[in-house]
Structure 1
Amino acid sequence: MMRLLSALALLLAATTVTRADDPPPKGDVSKYTFDASKIFPGTTRTYSVYVPKQYDGEKPACVYVNQDGIGYNAPAVFDKLIHEKKMPVTIGVFVTPGVVKSADNKAALDRFNRSFEYDGLGDAYARFLLEELLPDVETKKTADGRAIKISKSGNDRAIGGGSSGAVCAFTAAWERPDAFSRVFSSIGTYVGLRGANVYPTLIRKVEPKPIRVFLEDGEADQNIYGGDWWMANQEMERSLKFAGYEVNHEWGKGGHNGTAATKIFPEAMEWLWKGWPEPVKAGKGSSQMQAVLIPGEDWKLVGEGYKFTEGPIANAKGELFFTDVPEAKTYKVGDDGKPVLFSETNGKASGFAFGPDGSFYGCGGFGVAKYDSALKTTKLADGFGGNDLVTLHNGTFFVTAPGNNKNEVYFVNAKGDKKLVDTGIKFPNGITVSPDQSLLYVAESRTHWVYSFVIQPDGSLKHKQKYFHLHAPDTADEASADGLKCDRNGVLYVATRVGVQFCDQAGRVNGIIPTPNGKCANIAFGGKDFDILYATCIDKVYARKVKAKGANTFEAPIKPAGPRL
């Protein structure tokens, strides 16, 4: 009798188990309107939310965000893949572009915001999703009362779209890989409509990010005034592969429509989510990037809570000093890697330097001053507002002085005698010399250039050139180059809006290292081997161990190997 009951129990259990070949349960789709954006003011849009039956309303679910509303038969695809456990339990959010309604004038056209929101570079659309739309989604409930909870982990988030919606998806992940790590891109608009044609170059140069990308396109895609979609998508794939990203693609013969994408969408979703919850890994980057960065080493926070950090410089022991300019305080990074207050006042210095004899110098509105052991100042040269300075092994200085629209560069000898050696650079800012101390480099903050000069024996300058060509963000008109430092191989490191850009001796950006808070005012090499790259980033200071070693200008000149052609 007991055996019969056990058999019946097993039979009953078997009939209630969901099998992979059973019809998948159908998720719920609901539609909403959102008109409260501050990032895209005045816009109204609709969005739909798909919630799978497997979602319990308790544990935050993964999410897939799609531009241009529901596409690719996505709800049915998700039903099937979630049922077959080929993707995690995932909430779908399908959002349309915003429309700015005209005023009462009925003859006026509504403004369709799609290209502005989708084709543009920068983090605006990512912020719109993260700060506005997804929080609004989480205020909703399903028809049966389940609260909608979305995971905040980028590893649990995918984003996709077609054409402009595809480049929009890629941009959101590129700007915020911490929020979106998986990208589906169909017939992506990586062309010159609003600057997305730069992506194949940036992918090769920027430190790789933890993003996995599936690309789809066909050879009959558009070839118009903005560019060639078919060639641009192939270039994206080659750049992603070059930089070591996880990238997959489906090339066909189709045109600029969603036909092919709809067919391969299930395959793409399965590939994008493969291995989940294992995190998506970043690529290795170019050989130039690998020559500077150490695998597994990342930026580490040194200190925070400052108003505006500047002037990082290391002494002969590799001990780093920096200033919080508005507070006029000087800090020293201790042996434990943490900053300690070194002086309560420094005259609001913005730049520091050490001389060949170990003397400590600073510049600011007071000109150039020498500090004693208590950081009391003795004026060395005045009559100009110094911004940054560099000392040479022979005890002389070069100083940038951008104040009062004069835009000057001065030479100061060891006695404090000054000489105007250049004018006309648009806000001369960071300054350094090549390792052999034959060339002077000056950052032009109002453009995307760093100038090069040949230093003459008397301190004068010749052969002024716009030499180093920097990258500027699409959201700004200049690179805002500031602090400059060279390593012992002659590579120039530049603090800019997009992070630390490093350039070869031929003046070309070889790589870009973003900082954690997206800001960077100045840089220095420190540590006992001068292989710690420090970055002052407004309210924070970061450090990162690298393979490169800094060239100290107060030491004897170093002749690096010649530049590559």
Structure 2
Amino acid sequence: MPKSTLVRAICVLCVSSWLAALVQGQEIPQGELVKYTFDQSKIFPGTTREVSIYIPRQYDPATPACLYVNQDGVQYKAPEVFDELIHKGEMPVTIGVFVTPGVVKATSDQALPRYNRSFEYDGLGDGYARFLLEELLPDVETKRATDGRAIKLSKKGNDRAIGGASSGAICAFTAAWERPDSFRRVFSAVGTYVGLRGGHSYSTLIRKYEPKPIRIFLEDGSNDLNIYAGDWWTANQAMERSLTFAGYEVTHEWGEGGHNAEAATKLFPAAMRWLWKDWPAEVKAGPGSPQLQELLIPGEDWKLVGEGYKFTEGPAVNANGQVFFNDVGAGKTYQVTSEGTVKEFLGNSKRGDGQAFGPDGRLYANAGETSQVLAWDPSGQSKVIADGFRGNDLVVNHQGGIYVTNPGWNGTDPSHVYYISPTGEKKVVDTGLKFSNGVCLSPDQSLLYVADSRTHWVYSYQVQPDGSLNHKQKYFHLHVPDSAEDSGADGIRCDRDGRVWIATRLGLQVCDQPGRVNCIIPTPNGKVSNLTFGGENFDTLYCTCGDRVYSRKVKVKGANGWDAPNKPTTPRL
């Protein structure tokens, strides 16, 4: 090799070594930690906690920073890792918020504090996410770096990550699960997905829910805890298998470690690279389970039909596929036109509630104001069908027989299910539910389904020729949110394949005929009281959701009570 070429090679090698040294830690800009105490929570009243804010040197307040939240304070040498990865361009400019769990201080030195860690971290529900979004993070944005830089955080979920170990890990996942609009990247080390406060349910719920846009990195070791609450090692593997089954972006690092942060600290840089890879490209939701894919159309999302109502209920569809619904609080009934617009049908519905069309084309409705069942003709004229009780929901069969639920509104009166024959005779056909609510018939009209809102059950009855009911059974087993004692099951509809769609606190829970929840489909605002299938082909869901009504086109068609019965195929047992 010529001497000049050798010299050039040595020079290039020296420069490369110098650049590598810079990247490996020498001359890497170092961020700072700003520490303070937060004690103003109303969501977790009386708690005090320590907060450390990492502010990278590269941060410019002119551009809101990405965010990483970590439970249990500073771990995994995170500030040093962030310094290096931000310097290398392997993660965006990110402000870290490291927060310890809340403690309610003892009243004296003779008493123990109340330690909130398990309550805040292990519990399901949106409490901790709300604490971050409504209380802590707004407070963080009131602080400044030592050089005076204001703290401005991006509000986009795609720009936010959250992580932790053990209970802090399930807490991170729960925050993203509840609020993927605010957190979409999750780091989970030795996660506590076991039976401390319901975390063991996640591996089941993930499989059933319509997928959420979350990317998650899981770490655990075969020597993790195996105690009264469960087996951490198998629980983490169950999480990974469920996330994969549902089509989530998930990766994992399994080892032989125990319940500690040793492995997490070693792999934290790689985890951060993976979580932030291809940013700012959006983290997207996967396709979901095969059962969901049988129902939902890719790319077809919810659409707003109308808003600004007091409380919507009673969606019903006529033979032309036109949908009608009630604004119970305003005492009005509305019609969704074929163009998708909403127009008033009744200016005074007499506080109409649950309703359904009959085979004669009339709209049968429970009138809460008069405690009657009314039949409205297309011109808006009504006729009394039955009176003497305040109905909740109803269904009309293909012969004109009507089943009506009467919950026992004041909490002391008994709950009833009424049957009104095509000739107008009224009789009680069931009692004993806590709060009878939604009601529908199976596609072959041999079974009646009634929601008991104040439990997690929907009952099944066999319909007899005279309209009476036999073989009553607690049948459909529903999921209940952590924040409630019951499912809040309300309106019910069947599709023509025999699935039962139930409006609940968690969204639409879709069951197979044997009574098992296959899918859970949330609505955009987290509320749903009732549903129907409308449109020309009865393949568009219409859901009443508090002050709004939403629609969504699906792959299946609704079974209508006024239509001729049809027998679905035998389900898998």
Same fold per superposition (TM over 0.5): yes
- 2:235 — aligned with what? 232
Cα deviation for residue 172 of structure 1 reads 0.1
- Name the SS of the counterpart of 1:453 in structure 2: strand
Cα deviation for residue 20 of structure 1 reads 4.0
- 1:390 — aligned with what? 395
Matches within 5 A, 1:459-474: 459-474=467-482
- 2:90 — aligned with what? 86
Matches within 5 A, 1:536-551: 536-551=544-559
**Matching residue within 357, 369, 374 for 2:374:** 369
Query: 1:454-483 deviations in whole A, cap 9, x for unaligned?
Result: 100000110111111111101101001000
State TM-score, norm by structure 1: 0.96
State TM-score, norm by structure 2: 0.94
Matches within 5 A, 1:98-117: 98-103=102-107, 105-117=108-120
**Matching residue within 55, 59, 76 for 2:59:** 55
Would the aligned equivalents of 2:361 and 2:377 in 1 still touch at CA under 8 Å? no
Identity of aligned residues (%): 66
**Matching residue within 466, 473, 484 for 1:476:** 484
Q: Does 1:206 align with 2:220?
A: no
- Name the SS of the counterpart of 2:309 in structure 1: strand
Unmatched segments (≥5 aa) in structure 2: 1-14
Query: 1:209-234 deviations in whole A, cap 9, x for unaligned?
Result: 00000000001101111111111000
- 1:261 — aligned with what? 264
**Matching residue within 529, 534, 544 for 2:542:** 534
Would the aligned equivalents of 2:438 and 2:489 in 1 still touch at CA under 8 Å? yes
Cα deviation for residue 352 of structure 1 reads 1.2
Query: 1:64-104 deviations in whole A, cap 9, x for unaligned?
Result: 0000000000000000111111101100000001110122x
- 2:46 — aligned with what? 42
- Name the SS of the counterpart of 1:254 in structure 2: coil
- Name the SS of the counterpart of 2:311 in structure 1: strand
- Name the SS of the counterpart of 1:50 in structure 2: strand
Cα deviation for residue 254 of structure 1 reads 0.6
**Matching residue within 476, 494, 508 for 2:516:** 508
Amino acid at match of 1:350: D
Cα deviation for residue 23 of structure 1 reads 3.3
Give the Cα separation in 1 of the matches to 2:196 and 2:569.
41
Give the Cα separation in 1 of the matches to 2:341 and 2:89.
47
- 1:285 — aligned with what? 288
Give the Cα separation in 2 of the matches to 1:147 and 1:334.
51
- Name the SS of the counterpart of 1:350 in structure 2: strand
Give the Cα separation in 2 of the matches to 1:202 and 1:286.
11
Give the Cα separation in 2 of the matches to 1:478 and 1:338.
35
Matches within 5 A, 1:303-314: 303-314=306-317
Q: Does 1:327 align with 2:330?
A: yes
Q: Does 1:272 align with 2:286?
A: no
- Name the SS of the counterpart of 1:130 in structure 2: helix
Q: Does 1:519 align with 2:527?
A: yes
Give the Cα separation in 2 of the matches to 1:26 and 1:359.
73
Query: 1:426-472 deviations in whole A, cap 9, x for unaligned?
Result: 11100000000000000010101110001000001101111111111
- 2:386 — aligned with what? 381
Query: 1:464-523 deviations in whole A, cap 9, x for unaligned?
Result: 111111111011010010000000100000000000010011110000000111111001
Amino acid at match of 1:548: V
- Name the SS of the counterpart of 2:547 in structure 1: strand
- 2:439 — aligned with what? 431
Cα deviation for residue 552 of structure 1 reads 1.1
Give the Cα separation in 2 of the matches to 1:473 and 1:179.
20
- 1:95 — aligned with what? 99
**Matching residue within 142, 147, 150 for 1:147:** 150
- 1:248 — aligned with what? 251
Amino acid at match of 2:464: Q
Amino acid at match of 1:430: G
Q: Does 1:294 align with 2:302?
A: no
Amino acid at match of 1:286: S
Unmatched segments (≥5 aa) in structure 1: 1-13
Would the aligned equivalents of 1:490 and 1:504 in 2 still touch at CA under 8 Å? yes
Would the aligned equivalents of 2:67 and 2:96 in 1 still touch at CA under 8 Å? yes
- 1:400 — aligned with what? 405
Would the aligned equivalents of 2:166 and 2:190 in 1 still touch at CA under 8 Å? yes
* Aligned alpha-carbon RMSD (Å): 1.5
Would the aligned equivalents of 1:206 and 1:512 in 2 still touch at CA under 8 Å? yes
Cα deviation for residue 17 of structure 1 reads 10
Question: Which range moved further: 478-487 or 347-356?
Answer: 347-356
- 2:29 — aligned with what? 25
